[in-house]
Structure 1
Amino acid sequence: MLGLCMKAGKLLSGNEQVSEGLKKRQAVLLIVTEDSSPRTKDEYIKAAERLHLPYRLFGEKERLGQALGKGVRTAALITDQGFGRAIAEKIDRRKS
């Protein structure tokens, strides 16, 4: 699902893109990897909470990067409502 979202141009990844997307408020869902450093997690979570942006802690840095066809990634920002809802539901189902 993340790969499709990226191919559709509705996903930002990497620290710079995610930070810019948060500043521009163009996001509907933030995904932060569970194995990110505590400081990184804290920064992203605080930013999401300030913006009232839903977020999920999920997966590992290497696997997120692989899913996107990129290198290691600590976060991804979904910019499309439909993709955001579908991805959040999938993550929630896996965690329950």
Structure 2
Amino acid sequence: MNKQSKALSYLGLAMRAGKLAFGDEGVLGAVRSGQARLVVLAEDASANTRKKFQDKCRHYNVELFECFNRYELGGAIGKEARVLVAVLDSGFAQLIRPCLVKPPEVEPIE
């Protein structure tokens, strides 16, 4: 089992344990309240959603990972399609974090 499959499995376990928030409002509330330990954003999310949650996660110091597509993310948690998922438990976050590849920060070329 590769790392991405493990991450999706752990997200499914976290969902069954009731330790996930999903959807725009659910994730936003979890980030603002300090409950979110990490946020997973689908790669095919809209530009507005991407910018909004990059800014919110940076402001509230929550790690944001952009990976999977909306159908993979939704399928992992037993839903049809989901663009955003927040992990609310630090134990699950520690399991999932090493399985996700964070893209390197790209420096602008001047």
The structure with more radius of gyration: 2
Question: Aligned residue pairs: how many?
Answer: 94
Q: Does 1:42 align with 2:34?
A: no
Conserved in 1, the CA contact under 8 Å of 2:31 and 2:62? no
Indicate whether 1:59 and 2:94 are aligned.
Answer: no
Shift of 1:23: 2.2
TM-score where L is the length of structure 2:
0.80
Structure 2 stretches of 5 or more lacking a match? 1-9, 104-110
Contact 2:31 2:56 (8 Å CA) reproduced: yes
- Tell me which protein shows more helix as a share of its residues: 1
User: How high is the TM-score relative to the length of structure 1?
Assistant: 0.90
SS of 1:59's equivalent in the other structure is: coil
Render the CA deviation track for 1:28-55: whole Å, top value 9, x for unaligned.
Answer: 1011011101111110110000001111
RMSD: 1.5
CA shift, 1:81, in A, is 0.8
For residues 59 and 49 of structure 2, what CA distance do their matches in structure 1 show? 16
Gap runs ≥5 in structure 1: none
Structure 1 segment 1-96 matched on structure 2, within 5 A? 1-92=10-101
